[in-house]
Amino acid sequence: MIKMRALVKEKPEPGFVLKEVQMSENLEPDEVLVKIKNVSICGTDLHIYRWDEWAQKKIKTPQIDGHEFVGEVADIGSQVSMVKKGDTVVSETHIPCKHCIQCRTGRMHVCKNLEILGVDRDGVFAEYVKVPEIVLWKIDKSIPIDFASVMEPFGNAIHTSLVTELTGKNVLITGAGPIGAMAIAIAKHAGAAKVIVSEPKEYRIELAKKMGADLIINPQTDSVIDKVLKNTDGNGVDVLLEMSGNEKAFRDGLEVVTNGGEVSLLGVFSGNLSFDINGLFTFKGLTLHGITGRKMFETWNIATNLLKNKIIDLSPVVTHKFKLEDWQKGFEIMNKGESGKVILQVE
């Protein structure tokens, strides 16, 4: 038995408990045991921490939560061939079934039977985790460890931004949380003409500035529609990257996408939306890309190359680091919206 510290959702209630748990060291033939170095806190983990309606429906207790991590391969199952002991690895958090029609036709990222680490099964807020080798992605030691542990959300930003061509386009990003902030730098590097951001929170406005936004609009004090039109010769933007999950932000965003434009949708809304889909969408001839997770493993390859070659600097986004023991501080600071990505150091 492996004895380890883990952050556990013990009971169906808010919070976690840091405690010693046991895990069998036996591995399935395709399984890998990873010793975790760093984890980072995701919005999903906040939902679980707060124990909101979504978490209550989705999470079975007791469970170890968390899914974003970097670690080192500690042991491998008998059939594992893609990684070996001592490799530094990051991981796709969506575990594909390998059998459904999507998996068999090169679209594993939209697998019908997807299992999510730290949501549908035990996660990574612990000293060790077991995962099937298919989700692991070996990385070069030249990538700073704090950037490696946020490669999963960085991948969200990459997939959302690069699902369409951005070169020479005007882009509106609604929401500058950590993923929106990363998308700013990605869009700039992809050659976007103007990257406009709408964001109400002061902390995130600063983050957007640091990541290179050309114009930031605070929807609480300014009209997003007026400002975008004024800054795009009255045409509106070519591409909308929706990262906020806020209905008003999305609606304003659609309003200013130029006819024939594209919309990439990552934000998750808390309920059903109601707006004029004919006027805002159909008759404008917009194209919608729904984004779930990352492309396996095209996105990971791009993320690796961008970080390894220092094309994008994630240091403005990775704002806090705590020891695992101080997990509560990390969750509280995120809960207040006064942070970028928060890392918990496990090792």
Closest to 90 in 3D by CA, of 151, 43, 40: 151
Cis before residue 297, ω within 30 degrees of 0? yes
* Helix (H) or strand (E) segment spanning residue 19: strand 17-23
For Zn ion, which is the closer residue by CB, 112 or 323? Answer: 112
* Helix (H) or strand (E) segment spanning residue 40: strand 31-41
Q: Which stretch binds Zn ion (CB under 5 A): 80-88, 95-103, 210-218, 291-299?
A: 95-103
Total residues at the site for Zn ion (CB under 5 A)? 6
Closest to 168 in 3D by CA, of 196, 197, 188, 182: 188
β-bridge pairing 63-64 and 287-290: unpaired
Q: Which stretch binds Zn ion (CB under 5 A): 46-54, 93-101, 218-226, 326-334?
A: 93-101
For Zn ion, which is the closer residue by CB, 94 or 194? Answer: 94
Closest to 236 in 3D by CA, of 266, 259, 264, 220: 259
Q: How far is the CB of 322 from Zn ion (least distance, A)?
A: 17
Q: Is 13 exposed, middle or buried (0-12, 13-18, 19+ CB in 10 A)?
A: exposed
258: annotated active-site residue:
no
Q: How far is the CB of 264 from Zn ion (least distance, A)?
A: 18
111 belongs to the binding site for Zn ion (CB under 5 A):
yes
103 belongs to the binding site for Zn ion (CB under 5 A):
yes
143 belongs to the binding site for Zn ion (CB under 5 A):
no
Q: How far is the CB of 108 from Zn ion (least distance, A)?
A: 6
Residue carrying structure tokens 């959702």: 9
- Among positions 42-81, residues that touch Zn ion (CB under 5 A) are 42
Closest to 90 in 3D by CA, of 40, 28, 161: 40
- Decide if 180 contacts 264 (C-beta within 8 A): no
For Zn ion, which is the closer residue by CB, 50 or 209? Answer: 50
For Zn ion, which is the closer residue by CB, 17 or 268? Answer: 268
User: What are the helix and strand counts (H, E) for the chain?
Assistant: 12, 18
- Among positions 121-140, residues that touch Zn ion (CB under 5 A) are none
Q: Is 144 exposed, middle or buried (0-12, 13-18, 19+ CB in 10 A)?
A: middle
- Decide if 129 contacts 34 (C-beta within 8 A): yes
For Zn ion, which is the closer residue by CB, 169 or 204? Answer: 204
47: annotated active-site residue:
yes
Q: How far is the CB of 189 from Zn ion (least distance, A)?
A: 22
119 belongs to the binding site for Zn ion (CB under 5 A):
no
Q: How far is the CB of 318 from Zn ion (least distance, A)?
A: 14
Q: Which stretch binds Zn ion (CB under 5 A): 81-89, 107-115, 200-208, 316-324?
A: 107-115
Q: Which stretch binds Zn ion (CB under 5 A): 15-23, 35-43, 69-77, 161-169?
A: 35-43
97 belongs to the binding site for Zn ion (CB under 5 A):
yes
- Decide if 71 contacts 34 (C-beta within 8 A): yes
Report the C-alpha dihedral over residues 291, 49, 323, 300, rounded to 10 degrees: -10
Q: How far is the CB of 247 from Zn ion (least distance, A)?
A: 22
Residues across the chain: 347
Q: Which stretch binds Zn ion (CB under 5 A): 39-47, 131-139, 197-205, 338-346?
A: 39-47
- Give me the active site residues, please: 44, 47
Footprint of Zn ion (CB under 5 A) = 42, 96-97, 100, 103, 111
